[in-house]
């Protein structure tokens, strides 16, 4: 069994819970600071502040819902379309060799924000897991979070807002 180690996420685990849901907060005037890449009338895409890999995205409904069965058909379609569009953008922008796509629904499943359903898109490359996290509790993130945002936002700006 292979394990995905992410000791740099300890900052997130040990920090106090946010006062407001990170998905429900209205994006700041400066979207770059909020890491929101895209929002339409039903769903949005945000860059994960504590990524497993560069380009780790979260796709979420705008309505505050904890469960997948609470999504309307329109929200489900909008989310899946954003997942599809996001993988296309990631392929163009950072050329991953594959993706992990999924959701952790509920605290027992590992959801960090269990009150608002969201889906992870994690770009993957051959060899992106190596000995560094195991021995030194360090993961080399080759690109700064704000640079990832800048690069990806150029593509997300081209998606029509509905």
Strand bridging mode 98-102 / 119-124: antiparallel
Closest Cα to residue 115, out of 70, 53, 161?
70
| pTM above threshold 0.85 | no
Fold classified for 30-156: HIT family, subunit A (3.30.428)
Q: What is the pLDDT along the chain (162 residues), one digit of tens a residue?
A: 555 555 555 665 666 666 778 888 766 545 557 899 999 999 999 999 888 889 999 999 999 999 999 999 999 999 999 999 999 999 999 999 999 999 988 888 777 788 899 999 999 998 776 544 444 455 566 678 888 889 999 999 998 877
pLDDT in the model for residue 136: 45
Dist. CA 145–CA 147, nearest whole Å: 5
| The pair of three-digit structure tokens given for residue 55, joined into one six-digit string | 């380009």
55-77 pLDDT, tens digit each: 999 999 999 999 999 999 999 99
Dist. CA 30–CA 2, nearest whole Å: 39
User: CA 9, 58, 115 angle in degrees (round to 5)?
Assistant: 80
Domain boundaries, the chain: 30-156
């Amino acid at each position: 069994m292979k394990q995905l180690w992410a000791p740099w996420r300890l900052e997130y685990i040990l920090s106090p819970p946010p006062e407001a849901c990170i998905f429900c907060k209205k994006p700041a005037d400066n979207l770059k600071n909020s890491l929101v890449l895209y929002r339409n009338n039903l769903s949005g895409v945000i860059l994960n502040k504590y990524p497993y890999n560069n380009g780790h995205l979260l796709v979420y409904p705008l309505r505050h819902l904890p469960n997948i069965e609470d999504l309307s058909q329109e929200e489900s379609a909008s989310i899946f379309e954003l997942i599809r569009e996001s993988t296309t953008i990631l392929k163009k922008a950072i050329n991953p060799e594959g993706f992990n796509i999924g959701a952790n629904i509920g605290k027992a499943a590992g959801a960090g924000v269990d009150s608002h359903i969201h889906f992870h898109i994690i770009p993957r490359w051959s060899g992106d897991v190596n000995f560094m996290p195991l021995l030194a509790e360090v993961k080399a993130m080759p690109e700064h979070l704000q640079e990832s945002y800048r690069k990806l936002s150029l593509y997300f700006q081209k998606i029509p807002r509905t």
